[in-house]
């Protein structure tokens, strides 16, 4: 299943991808008291990214056609593991899956929040409970909707002549920081002061409210699963450029996962 005795050092647990997949499914769907973290270490070219994508499909769409094909292939690799995985996912709730690519440079908190809101919006769910935590984005949205036509030249300066009004609104709904910053500049020029941050801005608060509002029995999702590919590279990036990644971003992520570990799980891949 993609492992070699030469790929690991002493003291590390050697695990094939089929067993690893089942282990993750049992941990996130079961009542395990284990830590809500998992760090998978494997060499270059062993398929870490493909495994992450596979797990994202299984957990976000457990009853979909593609998930059934994945489970069938898993059974071909190991019949017993495949049978257990199918039983684990039978009638399972989907997870709200956040996928992070550590090869890219981004604000960690902002990216997680953006993806959660995108999934909720795609599912047609009311996100006002989360938007209320960061009302500055709603202020920027209302300002844009009210004054866009009158201030079109200012928006052209900030977003370029080819921008679309709908894209700005969608970005603000997803709480995109760069879009907010540009709208706030226009707001400050016209209103005399920028849009100030008020409310509960931390990732911890956002994750807690998202978990309580959308995850659990009789709710839309079983929990929140964060899959972090190329975690090692992003770790280096966050140390070298904390002004982009966010000050203490990884520490905040670990703390909020730990605090909400009953329904939040972080899976990281490192080379």
237 in a domain, yes or no?
A: yes
pLDDT above 90: residue 58: yes
Q: What is the pLDDT of residues 118-151, one digit of tens each?
A: 999 999 999 999 988 888 999 999 999 999 999 9
Q: How many domains does the chain have?
A: 2
111/62 same-domain check = yes
Q: What percent of the chain has pLDDT over 70?
A: 93
pLDDT above 90: residue 10: no
| Distance, CA of 116 to CA of 133 (rounded, Å) | 14
141/84 same-domain check = no
- CA distances to 99, 116, 137, 141, 242 from 175, in Å: 17, 10, 6, 10, 20
pLDDT at position 132, please? Answer: 86
Q: What is the pLDDT of residues 101-123, one digit of tens each?
A: 999 998 899 899 999 999 999 99
28 in a domain, yes or no?
A: no
Structure tokens at 151: 């201030």
Mean pLDDT, the chain, whole residue set: 90
56/175 same-domain check = no
Residue 221: DSSP 8-state: B
Residue-number span of the structural domain to which 147 is assigned: 135-191
215 in a domain, yes or no?
A: no
139/107 same-domain check = no
Q: What is the pLDDT of residues 12-33, one digit of tens each?
A: 567 789 999 999 999 998 755 5
Structure tokens at 191: 């209103």
| Distance, CA of 152 to CA of 149 (rounded, Å) | 5
**Beta bridge pairs of residue 98:** 226
64 in a domain, yes or no?
A: yes
Q: What is the pLDDT of residues 234-253, one digit of tens each?
A: 999 998 988 888 878 899 99
Give me the mean pLDDT over the 47-73 stretch.
93
Residue 119: DSSP 8-state: H
pLDDT at position 5, please? Answer: 55
147/67 same-domain check = no
114/226 same-domain check = yes
95/141 same-domain check = no
Residue 199: band (very low, low, confident or very high) from pLDDT cuts 50, 70, 90 = low
Structure tokens at 218: 């009789």
Residue 43: band (very low, low, confident or very high) from pLDDT cuts 50, 70, 90 = confident
Give me the mean pLDDT over the 191-220 stretch.
89
Residue 200: band (very low, low, confident or very high) from pLDDT cuts 50, 70, 90 = low
Paired sense of beta strands 96-101 and 37-41, if any: unpaired
Give me the mean pLDDT over the 204-218 stretch.
95
pLDDT at position 267, please? Answer: 96
pLDDT above 90: residue 220: yes
Q: What is the pLDDT of residues 153-193, one digit of tens each?
A: 999 999 999 999 999 999 998 889 899 999 999 999 999 99
156/95 same-domain check = no
120/39 same-domain check = yes
């Amino acid at each position: 299943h993609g492992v070699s005795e030469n790929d690991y050092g002493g003291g590390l647990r050697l695990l094939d991808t089929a067993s690893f997949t089942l282990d993750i499914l049992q941990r996130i769907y079961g009542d395990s008291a284990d830590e809500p973290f998992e760090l998978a270490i494997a060499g270059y070219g062993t398929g870490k990214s493909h495994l992450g994508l596979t797990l994202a499909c299984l957990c976000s769409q457990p009853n979909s056609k593609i998930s059934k094909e994945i489970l069938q292939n898993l059974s071909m690799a190991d019949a017993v593991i495949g049978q257990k995985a199918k039983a684990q996912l039978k009638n399972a709730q989907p997870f709200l899956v956040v996928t992070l690519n550590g090869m890219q440079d981004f604000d960690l908190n902002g990216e997680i929040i953006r993806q959660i809101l995108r999934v909720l919006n795609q599912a047609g769910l009311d996100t006002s409970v989360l938007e209320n935590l960061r009302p500055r984005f709603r202020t920027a949205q209302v300002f844009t909707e009210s004054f866009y036509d009158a201030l079109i030249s200012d928006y052209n300066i900030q977003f370029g002549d080819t921008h679309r009004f709908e894209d700005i609104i969608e970005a603000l709904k997803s709480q995109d920081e760069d879009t907010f910053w540009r709208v706030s500049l226009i707001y400050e020029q016209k209103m005399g002061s920028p849009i100030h941050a008020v409310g509960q801005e931390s990732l911890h608060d956002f994750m807690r409210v998202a978990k309580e509002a959308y995850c659990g029995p009789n709710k839309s999702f079983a929990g929140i699963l964060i899959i972090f590919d190329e975690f090692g590279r992003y770790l280096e990036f966050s140390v070298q450029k904390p002004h982009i990644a966010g000050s203490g971003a990884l520490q905040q992520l670990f703390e909020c996962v730990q605090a909400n570990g009953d329904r939040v799980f972080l899976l990281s891949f490192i080379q």
